[in-house]
Chain A
């Protein structure tokens, strides 16, 4: 989908644990920081990463008893025009009805006080957003954000 030249990338695999929500956000922000993003661009990327990682933790592995299989796969690519593409992937239960999941306020987990705004927020806060999911196989969220750069100096 992107023919632009890659200039940098990272990959990380982490256990799907609540405490790693903040870690994943900070990882993405540290990667983004090279392009001198604005405060708003940082906040947008943090929000999308946070929603995606929370989904791994809350939904993806709810039926996975084997702790060693509950993993979050996170990846970032920087292109030469300072577009950043992030991928957050899990190998969990998958989403049965993506259309429904995209609807604002729809949630399958009211018990955990999920607001049902995760996917709509991800879509709003990124420049392009794609979600791929297969029941029993897992979910991959890919989004990109172009960083304007606060100053070229």
Chain B
């Protein structure tokens, strides 16, 4: 989606291990294809997330750095942001 330099990936519903496992390779394929500078995860419609979401986002920071890009997060609720901060993910990913 959007311009060549950025992919906005809108997540939705509940992100647990089951869901994260199902979508991570799809996102990696997208990154390798598009080679964006920024991958934005939009959490606006995410109703629930456990630590699997942390793994999903941090895993994508690795894929993104392989193509010379970075990851950012938008629309995260307070409780989701709290999980990312607990894991120190806010040092690797910009949370807006």
Q: Do A and B bind each other?
A: yes
List of A residues within 8 angstroms of B55 by Cβ? 112-115
* Cross-chain contact of A54 among B50, B56, B58, B59 (Cβ < 8 A): B50
Once A18-B18, A18-B21, A21-B16 are accepted as A-B contacts, the answer to whether A54 and B83 lie under 8 Å apart by CB is no
Interface size on A, residues (CB 8 A): 26
Query: B92 to nearest A CB, angstroms?
Result: 12
Report how many residues on chain B are interfacial, defined by Cβ distance under 8 Å.
21
Q: A117-B87, A121-B86 are in contact. Are A51 and B18 (CB under 8 A)?
A: no
Instruction: Indicate if B44 sits at the interface (CB-CB under 8 A).
Output: no
8 contacts between A and B (CB under 8 A): A25-B16, A54-B50, A104-B86, A112-B55, A115-B52, A115-B54, A117-B83, A118-B51
- B: residues with CB less than 8 A from A are 14, 16-18, 20-21, 24, 48, 50-52, 54-56, 58-59, 79, 83, 86-88
Q: Which 10 A-B pairs have the closest CB atoms?
A: A18-B18, A113-B55, A115-B54, A50-B50, A117-B51, A115-B55, A113-B59, A54-B17, A21-B16, A115-B51
